[in-house]
Amino acid sequence: MKLFKLPLVLEPQPEGGYVVTCPLLPELVTEGDTVREALENAGDALEAVVEAFEELGRPLPPVLQPAKKTPLSGWRPP
């Protein structure tokens, strides 16, 4: 499993839930009913974006270079 470090923007929606986007990776857009679900879905969306680039034979954008391991590597929201 590759780890990436990207900024995420969670926008609360008037009808409830959150939309998640990444200012550095416009292809990453998802949502969730709770913050936790939205963040988990963002991880799934990122995996889908990486797979799409690989399937299309395109190099990953520079912002998608794997992150160096840190003490929190592998951390997931509670």
* pLDDT (tens digit per residue) in 28-40: 999 999 999 999 9
pLDDT in tens, 5-15: 889 999 999 99
Residue 70 lies in a domain: no
Residue 67 lies in a domain: no
Residue 46 lies in a domain: yes
Residue 21 lies in a domain: yes
* pTM score: 0.77
Domain that holds residue 24: 9-59
Q: CA 28 to CA 43: how far, in whole Å?
A: 9
Q: Please indicate whether residue 35 or residue 63 has the higher confidence score (pLDDT).
A: 35
Residue 45 lies in a domain: yes
Number of domains in the chain: 1
Residue type, 53: F
Residue 54 lies in a domain: yes
Q: What is the largest CA-CA distance in the chain?
A: 39
